[in-house]
């Protein structure tokens, strides 16, 4: 099982030297990848109608493509994954371009994690329809794959019109697509064309029903669990190595291929404390 880390960007600050130190520390400690969340905009909790989301305009989020481009330039081996990129609120061809460029410049160390998101305010601000996001996502996936694989495409869909145009440069290989979420439609997407699934369940036992559904959907598409990866997240919480090992072993038994350590919401108020936490975890894990 590969072990990665969630970049704790809402608590980390904006010092480029600290971000460099974090990426290099994760790589030197033996972590396989860095995952990052994303939001383009944050809502004002005092806005008309109120706000119930976990993040506001006061929570910082670096753009994942820019962040990973920077991290790729100061590392050699560690991989990167968005967990997740909210694809339906972004222009598809622009994402195709950004992902292809990042994948080329980091020499194939990138996986694209995708989801539909939950922040209606953000969708409105980005001039996208929150209520059609799932259907648009399916069309976006077709457009991405064609742009990445063909020099020229002609595409006429409900939301995209590409009149004989293409992407240059294209990635060296199809960029792996991972999907986040628990709905049946998400599991069906994983089964049809996904390279992996990013569940939000903390413990493997809670994911049993969803894993059974995934197995059934995979079989319908002539695939099996061997064809997809599974990457849950492990919360650092109060540092308890015994609990960490129990959780990791549970996910390993359930077939997880990756697990990603999250040190956010643990009271770490400096970059050094997050770096020390990922160091301590790896000392205990190894």
Rounded to whole angstroms, the Cα distance separating 143 from 157 reads 9
- Say whether pLDDT at 286 is over 80: no
Give pLDDT tens digits for 1-14: 999 999 999 999 99
For residue 101 the two structure tokens come to: 């460029």
pLDDT, residue 173, reads: 87
**Preceding amide of 36 cis, omega within 30:** no
**Preceding amide of 169 cis, omega within 30:** yes
- Say whether pLDDT at 48 is over 90: no
pLDDT, residue 53, reads: 86
Using DSSP bridges, classify how beta strands 2-6 and 196-198 pair: parallel, antiparallel or unpaired.
unpaired
- Say whether pLDDT at 42 is over 80: yes
- Residue 49: pLDDT band with limits 50, 70, 90: confident
Long-range residue pairs from 241-244, CB within 8 A, at least 24 positions apart, any chain: 241/284, 241/285, 244/281, 244/284, 244/285
- Say whether pLDDT at 170 is over 90: yes
Give pLDDT tens digits for 216-271: 999 999 999 999 999 999 999 998 999 999 999 999 999 999 999 999 999 999 99
> For the chain, what is the total number of helices (H) and then of strands (E)?
10, 12
Using DSSP bridges, classify how beta strands 161-165 and 153-156 pair: parallel, antiparallel or unpaired.
antiparallel
Q: Give the mean pLDDT of the chain.
A: 96
Rounded to whole angstroms, the Cα distance separating 216 from 192 reads 11
Domain residue extents for the chain = 1-83+257-286
User: How large is the average pLDDT for residues 49-55?
Assistant: 85
Give pLDDT tens digits for 68-113: 999 999 999 999 999 999 999 999 999 999 999 999 999 999 999 9
**Residue 130: which of 146, 144, 116 has the closest Cα?**
116
User: How large is the average pLDDT for residues 117-145?
Assistant: 95
pLDDT, residue 132, reads: 96
- Residue 273: pLDDT band with limits 50, 70, 90: very high
pLDDT, residue 147, reads: 97
- Alpha-carbon distances, residue 243 vs 1, 218, 258 (angstroms): 17, 31, 17
pLDDT, residue 67, reads: 98
pLDDT, residue 72, reads: 98
- Say whether pLDDT at 285 is over 90: no
- Residue 52: pLDDT band with limits 50, 70, 90: confident
């Amino acid at each position: 099982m590969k072990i990665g880390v969630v970049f704790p960007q809402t608590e980390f600050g904006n010092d480029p030297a600290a971000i460099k130190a974090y990426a290099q520390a994760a790589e030197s400690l033996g972590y396989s990848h860095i995952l990052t969340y994303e939001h383009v905009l944050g809502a004002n909790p005092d806005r008309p109608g109120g706000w119930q989301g976990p993040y506001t305009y006061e929570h910082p989020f670096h753009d994942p493509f820019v962040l990973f481009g920077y991290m790729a330039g100061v590392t050699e081996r560690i991989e990167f994954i968005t967990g997740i990129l909210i694809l339906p609120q972004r222009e598809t061809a622009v994402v195709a371009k950004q992902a292809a460029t990042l994948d080329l410049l980091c020499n194939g160390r990138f996986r694209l994690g995708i989801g539909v998101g939950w922040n209606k305010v953000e969708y409105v601000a980005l001039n996208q329809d929150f209520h059609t996001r799932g259907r648009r996502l399916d069309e976006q996936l077709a457009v991405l794959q064609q742009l990445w694989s063909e020099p020229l495409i002609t595409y006429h869909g409900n939301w995209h019109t590409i009149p004989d145009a293409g992407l240059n440069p294209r990635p060296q290989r199809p960029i792996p697509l991972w999907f986040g979420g628990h709905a049946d439609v998400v599991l069906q997407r994983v089964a049809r064309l996904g390279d992996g699934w990013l569940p939000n369940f903390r413990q493997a036992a809670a994911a049993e029903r969803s894993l059974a559904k995934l197995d059934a959907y995979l079989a319908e598409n002539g695939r099996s669990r061997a064809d997809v990866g599974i990457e849950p997240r492990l919360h650092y919480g109060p540092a308890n190595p015994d609990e960490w090992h129990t959780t990791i072993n549970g996910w390993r038994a359930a077939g997880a291929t990756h697990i990603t350590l999250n040190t956010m919401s643990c009271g770490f108020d400096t970059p050094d404390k997050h770096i020390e936490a990922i160091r301590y975890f790896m000392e205990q894990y190894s």
